[in-house]
Structure 1
Amino acid sequence: MENILRDKIFEFFRKNLDVRQEKEDEKETIESIRKGIEFKGTNLWVLIFATFIASLGLNTNSTAVIIGAMLISPLMGPIMGFGLGLGISDFELIKRSFRNFATATVFSVITSTLYFLISPISEAQSELLARTQPTVYDVMIAFFGGLAGIVASSTKSKGNVIPGVAIATALMPPLCTAGFGLASGNLYYFFGAFYLYFINTVFISLATYLVVRVLKYPQKEFMDKHREKVVKRYVGIIVFFTIVPSIYLSYNLIRKTYFNDQVHKFLHTELVFPNTQILSKTVSEDRKEIKIVMIGDTVPTIMIENARSKMVQYGLKDTKLIVQQGFGQEQMDINKLKSMLVQDMYKTNLDLYKSQAEQIDSLTKKLDNYRHTALMTSKIVPEIKVLFPYVDEASCSYTYIMHVQTMKPDTVMLVYMKSKQKIAGTEQDKIKEWISARAQTSNIKLIIEESKRE
């Protein structure tokens, strides 16, 4: 009985998870990926325009614009082509993919550098800064994104997975951030962003290679057996130098992420004191050093030493803790403190200014609508007197109407008229058509009230 149940469960998972059921012909998949590799003419210009759009999005801190640029960008082609070439031992495809990948990378960096050189906004926004410090999550996103991309490309129902992978793995923004680093002379930004770009590239290619091998794509056939051995040797070397750095990068990023998480737990558990707060912290995993600046009531040395003694519990045994507190004590840098306070106030005021500006803009639009409808009423009343002499009173204004069943709001122009006589349906249609043409809106609600006869 247990064996039957186990077999049924196994059959259920095999039936639902087997990607070979919808597998596209291997030759068609390979040809489809080959077509997306080339970077010249139209493809190259599309990449340049996408780079400009992404740079604008990073410069203005607009997530929507960045996403749009990633949808346009054709960068996924040569990266998946590289992984495919490794998987089927096609050395010519590997070389072609790498050549086009290098072309795309160089043109993207040059384009973004030129943009940031002429851009009037030189401050690094949060979207830019987010592309300078790779984490283990970037590795996971790139790897699983690469898996999704090649699995979808291998099936008949490809859908819109590739654009989604391009957005998730974020290949374009790090390149633009590297351009910003060159334009501003900040090599930290340049190398950090390029490191993230390299990680994404390596893990997408690695995921493509693994899926191609698992799905048993046909290997390239060689007439010359000696050349086949040479090519397979080269492919093996490239695979080795792709996988080993991947493991090394993953290990380093996991270690760094773990270290930062433990530091965060330590600071928010052991260095929490009444009437005192941490103003800033500098964490260096390489030097095994945590440097914090505290403001408020001075914390006794014995309490700080007590916190230091507990660092072992958080996996921070050999990490040095430097605490600076007070004003003028322990070599406190007053200028640095002032700078941090000014920056904090500036950011707070900037956020407040943006919020108030948006609110003012919204209120201004509403006020303009009210003015427009008031002006419209004063303009059309004399015309109504001539065209529809039986009308005694008239007014028009924009209003919200809520549908009771669907709870869906709708903005309409509400037109009220008071008439000396009953107005027929055809005449009412004529009035609505005239007001629609006059007010340049088709969404009109006409209410007519008949004057009471004395």
Structure 2
Amino acid sequence: MLKLFKNIEHQRVVAAVDNESSFTGKFFVLLILSTIIATLGLIANNISVVIGAMIIAPLMWPILGVSLSITRQNQRFLRESIALLAVSIILSIAVAAIVSLLSPILEINGAILERTNPTIIDLVIALATGAVATYIVLTPQSNHLAGVAVAAALIPPLAATGIALALQDFAATQGAMLLFGANLFAIVFMSIILLTIGGFAKTKKEEEKVNITISLVVSFGLLVIIAAPLGIVLKESIAAQHQEAVAFEVLSEEIQNIDETALLSSLVVGKTNPDSNIIVIEATVQAPLGAELFVSDQDRIAQLISESINHAVTLTIIITPTLTAKTPVTSDQIDINKLVTNITKRHIPNSDVLSVTVEETNDDIHITTVAALKTPLSDQKYRQQNIQQQLQTALNRNVKFALNILTYHQTEETE
């Protein structure tokens, strides 16, 4: 293994880190631009854009500055690197929050959610990232690759923190900061180890050797402290996935007793609060008008799920009526269906409207539309609001409109 660290140009590495981890206009321009790109990529749920931000992000250098100054016991350089890193963190979060507030589309999507629910797996990835990035810098390879590796672990969580703050979602903010902190300490820890192996900690003073050892022990201790909640989160995440899978399987089978054409359209599984031992399940079922679900049936289904997951369960099933061949359809309903289909296709080109569900009350018209697209919509909420406003104008009624998008991949038929 030590052969991998032969012929390291120590002066080149020190000069590169010292030159790049300093308060310069170039550093902050790249930091701001990379944060803007990453934030917009997360908001648009577009990982390719986020990867683009990683390419130009300069965050690797102050982190290596911290690790190198600890390894070489350079107190002045350590203070400068920590100051630059702290300013970079605050600036990145602030820029992400401002961009989020200016964005017309802002909601917690899959890309953001991934950065707000860290697990111990993310910590292991960060350890590997720190090792790879430091090794690339120590060897005569492209430092740019090292920057991408580190930015992949740090820029998205910082952008997600700013987005969560803009949404005033403090639970998501806490999760994103936990991920960032775990990644940061993991990268610093691995960098110190590799820099020490690479010969940057050569010193004859026993006091400095002790200080380096203390730094490693403290870094490892922080990793252990952070790893504990991450391990708990991973365990809870696995349990939640199992609970949702069981609930989906049981409900999909049992709703056939309501009607053979009934469809489980949505399922939410969670807890009212983290300390609760009761699993709360909310399911929406699409079934023909007239389909009935008695309280005894709902209690029976809840009992089946409870026994399967070995947890207390409260179950709420909402039946959304659909128009089928079994239900008489009036000319007014046909006209509304056509109107909804036309407006939906106008706002979402290339979509196929699969079904339109209309339910009228004394005050409102509830309309649920299911449409198919080849690619997911990044601004579904924004388009849904526009469709609802146009329907209200056309029908001169208060409309509550729900839009469900199904994505599919078209395959070519072979003869």
What letter corresponds to residue 141 of structure 1 in structure 2?
Answer: I
Report how far residue 151 of structure 1 moved.
1.8
Q: Please tell me whether the aligned partners of residues 152 and 161 of structure 1 are also in contact (alpha carbons under 8 angstroms).
A: yes
Which of 303, 306, 317 lines up with 1:305 in the alignment? 303
Partner deviation per Cα, 1:310-356 (whole Å, 9 max, x = no partner): 334xxxxxx4322222559xxxxxxxxx9xxx89858868968899x
CA spacing shift, 1:41–1:261, aligned 2, 3 Å = same
CA spacing shift, 1:238–1:148, aligned 2, 3 Å = same
Partner deviation per Cα, 1:122-178 (whole Å, 9 max, x = no partner): 344443333222233322321211111112222233465314414542x22222222
Aligned to 2:312: 320
Report how far residue 72 of structure 1 moved.
0.7
Aligned residues: 317
1:37-52, aligned counterparts within 5 Å? 37-52=21-36
For 1:79 and 1:354, locate their aligned partners in 2 and report how far apart those are by CA, in whole Å: 34
Partner deviation per Cα, 1:246-268 (whole Å, 9 max, x = no partner): 33244333323332343345335
For 1:292 and 1:209, locate their aligned partners in 2 and report how far apart those are by CA, in whole Å: 47
For 2:371 and 2:58, locate their aligned partners in 1 and report how far apart those are by CA, in whole Å: 36
| Residue 249 (structure 2) pairs with residue 262 (structure 1) | no
1:426-445, aligned counterparts within 5 Å? none
Q: Please tell me whether the aligned partners of residues 305 and 313 of structure 2 are also in contact (alpha carbons under 8 angstroms).
A: no
Report how far residue 110 of structure 1 moved.
1.9
Report how far residue 200 of structure 1 moved.
1.7
Partner deviation per Cα, 1:185-221 (whole Å, 9 max, x = no partner): 3323322322222222122112222333444542456
For 1:191 and 1:202, locate their aligned partners in 2 and report how far apart those are by CA, in whole Å: 16
For 2:90 and 2:202, locate their aligned partners in 1 and report how far apart those are by CA, in whole Å: 31
Aligned to 1:75: 59
Aligned to 1:192: 175
For 2:378 and 2:88, locate their aligned partners in 1 and report how far apart those are by CA, in whole Å: 37
Q: Please tell me whether the aligned partners of residues 86 and 239 of structure 1 are also in contact (alpha carbons under 8 angstroms).
A: no
Q: Please tell me whether the aligned partners of residues 278 and 292 of structure 1 are also in contact (alpha carbons under 8 angstroms).
A: no
Q: Please tell me whether the aligned partners of residues 143 and 207 of structure 1 are also in contact (alpha carbons under 8 angstroms).
A: yes
CA spacing shift, 1:147–1:310, aligned 2, 3 Å = same
Partner deviation per Cα, 1:31-67 (whole Å, 9 max, x = no partner): 4333332233221122112222223333333333222
Aligned to 2:88: 104
Stretch deviating more after TM superposition (30-39 or 231-240): 231-240
> SS state of the match for residue 268, structure 2?
strand
What letter corresponds to residue 95 of structure 1 in structure 2?
Answer: R
Q: Please tell me whether the aligned partners of residues 38 and 100 of structure 1 are also in contact (alpha carbons under 8 angstroms).
A: yes
1:139-158, aligned counterparts within 5 Å? 139-158=123-142
Q: Please tell me whether the aligned partners of residues 132 and 192 of structure 1 are also in contact (alpha carbons under 8 angstroms).
A: yes
What letter corresponds to residue 280 of structure 2 in structure 1?
Answer: K
Aligned to 2:283: 294
CA spacing shift, 1:213–1:354, aligned 2, 3 Å = closer
CA spacing shift, 1:311–1:345, aligned 2, 3 Å = same
For 1:29 and 1:126, locate their aligned partners in 2 and report how far apart those are by CA, in whole Å: 39
For 2:7 and 2:210, locate their aligned partners in 1 and report how far apart those are by CA, in whole Å: 31
Aligned to 1:245: 225
For 2:309 and 2:242, locate their aligned partners in 1 and report how far apart those are by CA, in whole Å: 9
For 1:118 and 1:160, locate their aligned partners in 2 and report how far apart those are by CA, in whole Å: 31
TM-score relative to the length of structure 1: 0.59
1:109-258, aligned counterparts within 5 Å? 109-158=93-142, 160-166=144-150, 168-169=152-153, 171-215=154-198, 217-220=200-203, 228=208, 231=211, 235=215, 238-239=218-219, 241-258=221-238
1:78-89, aligned counterparts within 5 Å? 78-89=62-73
Stretch deviating more after TM superposition (291-300 or 51-60): 291-300
1:347-386, aligned counterparts within 5 Å? none
> SS state of the match for residue 253, structure 2?
coil
Runs of 5+ consecutive residues of structure 1 not aligned to the other structure = 1-16, 313-318, 329-337, 356-454
> SS state of the match for residue 315, structure 2?
strand
For 1:123 and 1:246, locate their aligned partners in 2 and report how far apart those are by CA, in whole Å: 28
CA spacing shift, 1:293–1:114, aligned 2, 3 Å = closer
> SS state of the match for residue 294, structure 1?
strand
CA spacing shift, 1:310–1:127, aligned 2, 3 Å = closer
CA spacing shift, 1:101–1:70, aligned 2, 3 Å = same
What letter corresponds to residue 85 of structure 2 in structure 1?
Answer: F
- Work out which of the two has the higher radius of gyration on C-alpha atoms and give 1 or 2: 1
Q: Please tell me whether the aligned partners of residues 22 and 155 of structure 1 are also in contact (alpha carbons under 8 angstroms).
A: no
Report how far residue 240 of structure 1 moved.
5.1
CA spacing shift, 1:234–1:39, aligned 2, 3 Å = farther
> SS state of the match for residue 316, structure 2?
strand
TM-score relative to the length of structure 2: 0.63
For 1:354 and 1:200, locate their aligned partners in 2 and report how far apart those are by CA, in whole Å: 28
Stretch deviating more after TM superposition (44-53 or 19-28): 19-28
For 1:343 and 1:129, locate their aligned partners in 2 and report how far apart those are by CA, in whole Å: 28
For 2:301 and 2:198, locate their aligned partners in 1 and report how far apart those are by CA, in whole Å: 60
| Residue 26 (structure 2) pairs with residue 28 (structure 1) | no
Runs of 5+ consecutive residues of structure 2 not aligned to the other structure = 257-263, 286-291, 321-360, 380-415
Partner deviation per Cα, 1:265-304 (whole Å, 9 max, x = no partner): 5335555524353722232465344221234474464454
Q: Please tell me whether the aligned partners of residues 22 and 156 of structure 1 are also in contact (alpha carbons under 8 angstroms).
A: no
> SS state of the match for residue 275, structure 1?
helix
Structure 1 outlier segments of 4+, above 6 Å: 346-355
> SS state of the match for residue 122, structure 1?
coil
Stretch deviating more after TM superposition (211-220 or 112-121): 211-220
| Residue 45 (structure 2) pairs with residue 61 (structure 1) | yes
